[in-house]
Amino acid sequence: MKRMLGAGVLAAAGYAVWRAYARRRVDTGVTWQAQPFPYPPQPRETTGATAAVAVERWVAPGDDGACPASHPVKAKLASGIFHVPGGANYDRTHADRCYASASDAELDGLRASKV
């Protein structure tokens, strides 16, 4: 019982010292703001000669999460992973975006699934 009381007194003293130190800190003007994680990839515009024949790199999936035949690569933005047709988890993935090719998904900062 005395050990627990001693530990409590020691913890209270440590907390009091920490609070006194925290009040003395100098404001450096640096503040922290929460940022979304992972940061969603942003589409990039095509320029130059390829702009005339460019196909959209990604399109929104249908309501059921299925991708059109022109953009078969399924991407999940929360995990930052994309799935190609024939992959182990392709059929059960409900896409957030559909890409025309795996390289287009990689350009937006996504990585290929491991299976």
pTM over 0.85: no
DSSP string, 46-106: --GGGGTT---SEE---TTSPPPTTS-EEEETTTTEEE-TTSTTTTT---SEEESSHHHHH
Instruction: Give residue-wise pLDDT tens across range 9-62.
Output: 999 999 998 888 877 766 666 666 666 666 666 666 656 555 455 578 899 999
Q: Where are the domains of the chain?
A: 48-112
